Structure 1
Amino acid sequence: MDSKRPTSGVNLPTINLSNLSYLKCDTKGKKRPTSFFYWRLYFVTTGNLIVDYDDQILQVHAGEYCVIKRLQDHLLETRELPVKFLLVEFSCQEADTAFLSTLLNQTHQASDEQLDLLEKIFSNCQCGDANLVNGEISLLEVPVFQIQLMIIYFLELLYLTNYKKQPIMFIESGKLSKEYSRELINEVIHFMEKNLSENITIKELAKHFFISPTSLKKFFKEDTGYSLINYFRTLKMEQAKLWIREDDQLFTTIAQNLGYESIHQFSKTFKRYTGLSPTTYKKSIQSIDEQFDSLL
């Protein structure tokens, strides 16, 4: 199922989830996967998994993961037992391979936020008769809205992995903010983060920072790759997701606090950004939290 993330927000791949597995190895040795048709993400929860390909060896320890590109022949080796790992197989559009290629040929240490995302991805499989342990999960057994939510989590995980390599700071609200070479751009972003309740126009921003609207749009696009309006909307939606997940605010309150004139306008924007309505998003999060304390 395709991701519903809009192209106007953060530039993330459009993917399909093909397989989810939680595997346990009790014997030492090497094994070649039966298919290389999909991209693969291996996340090790226990032990050490060795991934061997093209004269390169990746040792993926507990709490780490790696990404293997489509059609890449490789071997999996286990030496110290037991070894447990999560496997995500996925496909993407050709235009998105450049983004994914930055994740290859290295292991990645999972942050607490990424561990939480992985837990929620696999927790979504725990429904009906699906059994995650020592086998594959049939996505046909998972409700459509759960798959949508898993894709959102997985894209966030890939996004965080990609941008770990660049200068990043996580501010208290949970939004992602990057340090740019132009101090003006950092100040503009900080100003937007502090004024999420307002509906700031480009003209107002330009006046506040004593610069022409044309120059401000040009510099912001050059440094961030995004338009000012889309960046500001993304900040608002990320804050909305955080409040829905962690606070007990009414949707009408969240809409007002983010400067939306009506709950309808907020809900429409939220669904266009995440692929889910605020109500469905909240119910999905609550369902996961209630049924599973922890997977990892």
Structure 2
Amino acid sequence: MFIKTTNPTFKNFGELVCDSLDRDFSKDINIKNKSIKKLKLTSDNSTFLKVNKGVVMILVSLDGKDIKSFIINRIINLKKGIYFNLISISDESEVSIISKDEFKSINLKEEYTYTKISSSLNIDQIYTKFYQEKGTNYSFAGESHPYWELTYVDKGNLSTNVDGKEYNLKQGDLIFYAPFQFHTQATLNNISSYLTINFKMDSNDYEVLCNKVFTLERESYNIISKLIEELSNDDIYSNDLSICYLKQLIIHTARLKNTYFQSKPTTHMRQTYENSLLNEILLFIDEHIYEKLSINTLCSHFCISPSMIHSLFKKNMDNTVKNYINELKLSKSKELIKNTSYTISEISDMLGFSSIHYFSKKFKTSFGISPTEYSKSIYD
């Protein structure tokens, strides 16, 4: 995540100039570079920087080795003895600088390069979408085509031959076929239901996605459930959401380190029950977030055992109940600090923390900044 120069941690390197300066900036420089090989050193206490156009990242260091990065969102005055340089996040930028320094430069051991946030996997279009049920001994002779295809087995089993190699898919398994990759499909002595999607994708991850069977983990299963739902809808933006969920599914699948997982795929009925119960629990926690919540409170209210609620959160949230409640309370505390006039102590009490010291410690652990520093940063 980016950090702005209004963040309290920037005070180690310089200060904000909130008022307009009663002086003309002596030099305007245009910046296009996305990488730097050198750092400049300030030897004067008056090195002012102002961004006139674009988005600019300043790289700063106290020793020329440990580099921190900030997005310049105010006029700044760098301290004496600070190493710095600038990178343009936008296509090009303009910065005004005033300083009496003739900056000395040092070479970096390794070039610092900014990697822009952009998509490396693009899905332009979904051509076809089929959810079909096939009887026993169904056999498809095979095909190849100039687009990607995925098949997900929702029930039963499926056999597929890809470029002469046989693969067997069971419930919860997924396989990808690359463009022009010949493949057949057949059921294995039972009724099988599966989803098939043909789509146009710009990707070179053939080795990651192809010629293997993926058994979906719980999070990916939830994504494909949403994908199936949106593919069946005609609501506004359903097509956009379908492509988003398909892309998310592919990314999650590509990240899988192992073909099989200890978490066994659940049945659709079981997952529907778990989703409904979990949603009710999450809603209850949200509505009672200002109270002292415990696992026993939740178990008593929903008539379930502690082991069941632990399993529910672990499988579907990849989190513990206690952590989830604490994270939600801390998120609420940020909203209260930002949008109300309550003191830090009052907010700590409102959210049921045992002490303001404990609250401050948890807040800083989660967000890297104390509640007091966060409050000040909002109004700087």
Normalising by structure 1, we get a TM-score of: 0.46
Rg (Cα) greater in structure:
2
Q: Say which structure is richer in strand.
A: 2
